[in-house]
Amino acid sequence: MTEFKEEKAMSDCIFGYFDSAEQGEPIYDPGLHVPCPCCLLPVGDRNGVTTISLLAEKDTWSFFFRAHTGCWQQASAKEKTAIESSLIDSRNTGG
Ligand SMILES: [Zn+2]
């Protein structure tokens, strides 16, 4: 019965944040225990992690998430766009 809750929490915590695009160190790093958005296994479970950075145009902050390099390379452009936009949406509606 807690599935929805966990899913929402997941989409919240897989992000790391930068408060400016120029900043080298994230203000929050979610670590390697968070799920890969492609296969939902922890990103630290496999060799090869890729970091995808996203800029929110209307804000000065940016954020990033991680996925398995193999998963991300196999995903089509359409799938990547769908993942990115769903993650962005989860941020925008999350307050
Ligand atoms: Zn994966």
**Into how many domains does the chain fold?**
1
How far, in Å, is the centroid of ligand 1 from the Cα of 8?
19
What would the pLDDT profile of 61-81 be if each residue is shown by its tens digit? Answer: 678 889 999 999 999 999 999
Q: Is residue 1 part of a domain?
A: no
How far, in Å, is the centroid of ligand 1 from the Cα of 42?
8
How far, in Å, is the centroid of ligand 1 from the Cα of 55?
22
What would the pLDDT profile of 7-57 be if each residue is shown by its tens digit? Answer: 544 445 677 877 765 657 788 888 999 999 899 999 998 789 999 888 766
* Structural domain that includes position 36: 8-92
Q: Is residue 2 part of a domain?
A: no
Burial of 52 (0-12, 13-18, 19+ CB in 10 A): middle
Distance (Å, whole) CA 76 – CA 69? 13
How far, in Å, is the centroid of ligand 1 from the Cα of 35?
8
DSSP 23-76: -SS-SB---SSSBPTTT-SBGGGSS-EEEEEEE-TTSS-EEEEEEEHHHHHHS-
